[in-house]
Amino acid sequence: LAKTTQPISMDSYEGQEVNITCSHNNIATNDYITWYQQFPSQGPRFIIQGYKTKVTNEVASLFIPADRKSSTLSLPRVSLSDTAVYYCPLRPNNAGNMLTFGGGTRLMVKP
């Protein structure tokens, strides 16, 4: 069963780059890696998605090694508004498209 492991929490300061790593040893061969950001009492917000190597958009970069057993979300120059929980949910192997959320990473950005 696909399962993810992330650090429970991370602290950073405004303007710094933050890297959050997610381990997913049993990721399905055809599954994409997707990261979400969630603020309290709000729905998870899509950040970035990729299959392998590196993907970059206007808010983040996603690094995926060749074995795809982990991925790293990189947030450049964080601000206070980036304080949130970050998830890298996966789909269960050969069992549908639903997302399985493991414990996310609570990022605290300090001034």
Partner 1 sequence: AAGVIQSPRHLIKEKRETATLKCYPIPRHDTVYWYQQGPGQDPQFLISFYEKMQSDKGSIPDRFSAQQFSDYHSELNMSSLELGDSALYFCASSLLGPEGTDTQYFGPGTRLTVL
Q: Where on the chain is the footprint of partner 1 (CB under 8 A)? A: 28, 30-32, 34, 36, 41-46, 49, 87, 89, 91, 95-104
Q: Cβ neighbours of residue 57 under 8 Å, at least 6 residues apart?
A: 48
* CB nearer to partner 1: pick between 20 and 89: 89
Taking the complex as a whole, the smallest distance from the CB of residue 32 to partner 1 amounts, in Å, to 6
Q: How far is the CB of 111 from partner 1 (least distance, A)?
A: 26
Query: Do 4 and 31 contact (CB within 8 A), yes or no?
Result: no
Nearer to partner 1 among residue 12 and residue 105 (C-beta) = 105
Give whichever of 9 and 16 is closer to partner 1, judged by the CB atom.
Answer: 9
Contacts of 31 (CB under 8 A, 6+ apart): 2, 90, 91, 93
CB 46 within 8 A of CB 36: yes
Q: What is the nearest approach in angstroms of partner 1 to the Cβ of residue 26?
A: 14
CB 85 within 8 A of CB 23: no
Judged by beta carbon, residue 30 or residue 111, the one nearer partner 1 is 30
State the minimum distance, in angstroms, from the CB of residue 30 to partner 1. 4
**Cα 34 to Cα 46: distance, rounded to the nearest angstrom:** 8
